[in-house]
Structure 1
Amino acid sequence: MKRNLLFLERVLFGNGSEPFHGVYALKINGQLNQGQLRTALARLQEKYAMLRTAIGIDATGLPFFHTPPSRPDIPLRIVERADDDDWNRETVRELGTSFDIKNGPLLRITWIRSAEVSDLIMAFHHCMCDGGSGVALLNDLLTLLDDLQAEIGKAPAFRNIRDLIPAELLHNRRNRFKAKFSAALVHAGLSLGSLFISTKRKSGPRSGGPRTGDYLVNWKLGSEQSKALFRQCKKEGVTVNTAIGLALMEAFKAINGPGAHGKATCPVDIRRYMPEVKRDMLFSYGLALNIGLKQAFGNSFWEKAKTLQIHVSKQMARLDPYEFTMIMEASHRSVHKLRRFLTYAKVGNDFMFSNMGKLDIPAQFRHFTVETIYSPTVIGPFANPNTIITTTFKGQMDFSFVSNQEFMQRATAMQIREKAMEILFETVFIPDSVRL
């Protein structure tokens, strides 16, 4: 396999030296075997061609995925389990530890083991894989750990943009002109903006060398709390994503005061709009919505949520993955300017928030039980590292909030967490016995 990185893959890759990773962590009750785990990882590589790749740089400086002559195995690191917080510490370690880009692969596993309980940490480079792809990888890995002979098929992989965009759209003269024109506007805007950016006043994770100061705050809602929230959102005609996003923005404003921006970015799974990206195709980027407190009007929380939902729904209806991808692919000359802007420009929003919904992964296998799956985490070198992701597993919503001490103190993140949950559940009926 060999192909050039797409534009947004290049943005996530950078120069390959700085970690920009996604990490999944889960807790398993039951015995795991080292030999079986290594065999399962080998079979995972057989299914997914991308798990056999490294990244090279051609003579013109462009990065490309390729399969090395001697395929490296997926690294497996084993840590003896000491307590229930090991997974958090190891997740943070994986977020800040670079991959061997030159030799690959771009995925690794940490097994935190004990006789009856294990934590598995799966880390991947974001330029290869997103959270949705991570669900497919986890599902296959667990299936193989339960039965090494299980049939998991072969994952599709795209070779270039022609595999993602229908020919009638890709070769349409109007579409091509619009993409080039939009790319030119992007380049001009970034060129102008770069004149006012100083690399000396960067806040957040430091560039160059091992990144330190990352942290992860994780919490869960009980089953009854989760059900109550789902019911309330359905009753009000508001998505869970919109309700939580609003509560988080109000919490940032309440805790940070004038320092809050009242804005957030919400990724959208591109698979919902682009059927060419299959469920088990490793893909790295999605679409995005922008939400803000200025779009939330009303006297009560749910009145505000309803007006914000109208804004969100209008944005969702306008999303076009084909046009977006064509514009991005016409923008390759701007990749370094965009990374400079994302890394050093003044921060304009408070956080990135993603609700991935219910995880399509079984809890019960024949030989073990998945007690919990923690919401995935992702952090990179950009100016604002605040990222909040939530998932639902076994009827419980799980939240992961990652940031960096140089940008926001962990104590502040904890205050925001408490305030957001207070705002969110202020008018949601929950029996006193199961309240936070």
Structure 2
Amino acid sequence: MKRNLLFLERVLFGDGSEPFHGVYALKINGNIDYLKFTATLTRLQEKYAMLRTAIGIDANGRPYFHTPPSAPQIPLRIVDRNSDEDWNRETLHELGTSFDIKNGPLLRITWLRSAEVSDIIMAFHHCMCDGGSGVALLTDLLALLDDPQAVIGKAPAFQSIRDLVPAEILESGRNRFKAKLSAALVHAGLSLGSLFISTKKRPGARSGDYLINWKLGEEQSKALFAHCKKEEVTVNTAIGLALLEAFKAVNGAGAHGKATCPVDIRRYMPEVKRDMLFSYGLALNISLEKLVGVHFWEKAKTLQTYVSKQMAKLNPYEFSMIMEASHRSVHKLRRFLTYAKVGNDFMFSNMGKLDIPARYRNFTVDTIYSPTVIGPFANPNTIITTTFNGQMDFSFVSNLDFMPQNTAMKIREKAMEILFETVAIPDPVRV
């Protein structure tokens, strides 16, 4: 396999020297066999061609995925498990430890092992894989750990944008002109903006990353889902608004009142299959500006109207064409994202219910922690939530140089207080 990185893959890759990873962690009750584990990793690489790749740089400085003549196996690091908190430490370790880009692969596993309980930490480079792809990988990994002979098929892969955008759209003269014009405007904007950006102060070393994780109980989660349905507001909108208001309440004038919300591109682009390793999505922005209403749920309904309109306008094909016409701007965009003045408070993603079984023949999955991701960009605040076994799980990652951990804890507590103020569930947060 050999293909050039797409534009947004290049943005996530940078020059390969700085970690930009996604990490899943889960807790398993039951015995896991070492030989089954190594066989599982072999089977994963057989299914997913991308798990056999490394990244090279061509004569023009453009990175490309390729399969080395003897592709290394997925690394498996084994660590003694001593407590229920070890996974947090190892997740942070994986978020901050670079991959061997030149040799690959771009995925690795840490196994926190004890006699009856294990934590599995799966780390991947974000330029190869996003959270949705991570769910597919976890699903296959667990199935194979339980039964090494399980049928998991072959994962589809793409070679270029031509495999993602229908020919009639990609080859349309109007669409191509629009993409080139938009790309030129992006380039001009980034060029102008870069005149006001100083790169003298580089981001600090990634020694201050932290991860805060918490859950809502099953009854609390159920009550929130029901209340959102009653108010005709999505859970994503409600939580996003609660977090925006919490940032404002805790940070005061230092809050921006804005957030970015990734949107799974698979909802709009059927060419990206469920088990195709894909690295980026669409995005929309939410803010506290122009929200009508005094009470939380009144404002949530106003925000929901705005979000619904923005979702209806999302066009993955046009977006992809513009991005692929923007390759000359990749370094300027990286510079802007890394050094420009921060204009939003956080990135928030609600991935919804994880379609992963909890019970297997040889073990049970006790917990799947919401995935984490952090990169070298100016604002590291990232909050992700998932639902597994009826419980909502939250992960909040940031860096001490950007935000003190006690501030993040206050934001977490305030957000849950705001969210559950009118939902009749006591003590909504369980650490």
- C-alpha displacement at 1:333, in angstroms? 0.0
Residue 321 of structure 2 corresponds to which residue in structure 1?
326
Is residue 231 from structure 1 mapped to residue 240 from structure 2 by the alignment?
no
Q: How far apart, in 2, do the equivalents of 1:435 and 1:213 lie?
A: 25
Cα offset for 1:434?
7.0
Gaps of 5+ in 2: none
Q: 1:19 to 1:156 in 2, by over 3 A?
A: same
The CA distance in 2 between the partners of 1:181 and 1:307, in whole Å, is 33
Normalised TM-score (structure 1): 0.98
Corresponding residue for 1:423?
A: 418
Supply the distance in 2 between the matched residues of 1:329 and 1:91 (Cα, whole angstroms). 33
Which residue among 185, 189, 211 is the counterpart of 2:206? 211
What is the match of residue 5 of structure 1?
Answer: 5
Residues 97 and 211 in structure 1, CA contact (< 8 A), matched pair in contact too:
no
Residues 284 and 295 (structure 1), Cα distance of their counterparts in 2 relative to 1, 3 Å cut: farther
**CA–CA distance in 2 between the matches of 1:193 and 1:2?**
35
2:125 is matched with which residue?
125
2:240 pairs with 238, 245, 248, which one? 245
Counterpart position of 2:386? 391
Partner of 1:78: 78
Task: Supply the AA of the counterpart residue of 1:259.
Answer: G
Residues 1:143 and 2:166 are matched in the alignment:
no
Is 1:297 the counterpart of 2:287? The answer is no
Q: Tell me whether 1:356 sits opposite 2:375 in the alignment.
A: no
CA distance in 1, matches of 2:290, 2:179: 29
CA distance in 1, matches of 2:240, 2:89: 27
Q: CA deviation at 1:433?
A: 7.8
Aligned-partner SS, 1:357:
strand
User: Per-residue deviation at 1:201?
Assistant: 4.0
Please give the secondary structure, in 2, of the residue aligned with 1:87. helix
* Corresponding residue SS for 1:24: strand
Paired position in structure 2 for 1:256 = 251
Letter in 2 for 1:276: E
CA distance in 1, matches of 2:230, 2:237: 14
Check if 1:64 corresponds to 2:59: no
- Secondary structure (helix, strand or coil) at the match of 1:304 reads helix
SS in 2 for 1:294: coil
Q: How much has 1:295 moved relative to structure 2?
A: 3.9
Residue of structure 1 equivalent to 2:301:
306
Q: In structure 2, what is the equivalent of residue 339 of structure 1?
A: 334
1:85-100, aligned counterparts within 5 Å? 85-100=85-100
Match of 1:110 in 2: 110
Choose which of 268, 274, 278 in structure 2 pairs with 1:279.
274
Using the alignment, how far apart are the partners of 1:111 and 1:435 within structure 2? Answer: 28
| Shift of residue 71, structure 1, vs aligned partner | 1.0
> Structure 1: where are the runs of 5+ without partners?
none
Displacement after TM superposition at 1:435 (Å): 7.3
The CA deviation string for residues 163-191 of structure 1, in whole angstroms up to 9 with x for no partner, is 00000000000000000000000000000
Alpha carbons 2:261, 2:285 under 8 Å: kept: yes
- Contact 1:224-1:434 within 8 A present in 2 as well: no
1:146 to partner: Cα distance: 0.4
Distance 1:43 1:198, change over 3 A: same
Instruction: Check conservation: 2:416, 2:428, Cα contact below 8 A.
Output: no
Q: Write the mapping of 1:167-182 to structure 2, written as runs, cut at 5 A.
A: 167-182=167-182
**Would you say the 8 A contact 2:133–2:278 is kept in 1?**
yes
User: 1:35 Cα shift?
Assistant: 1.2
TM-score (normalizing by structure 2): 0.99
Between the two proteins, the alignment pairs up a number of residues equal to: 430
Question: Amino acid of the residue matched to residue 349 of structure 2?
Answer: S
Q: Could you tell me whether the CA contact under 8 Å between 1:22 and 1:124 is conserved in 2?
A: yes
Structure 2 partner of 1:159: 159
User: Distance between the aligned counterparts of 2:199 and 2:76, measured in 1?
Assistant: 37
- Give the distance between the partners of 2:82 and 2:360, measured in 1 at CA: 25
Specify the SS of the correspondent of 1:335: helix
Task: Give 1:345 deviation, angstroms.
Answer: 0.1
Separation (CA, whole Å) in 2 of partners of 1:366 and 1:34: 17
The percentage of aligned residue pairs carrying the same residue is 82
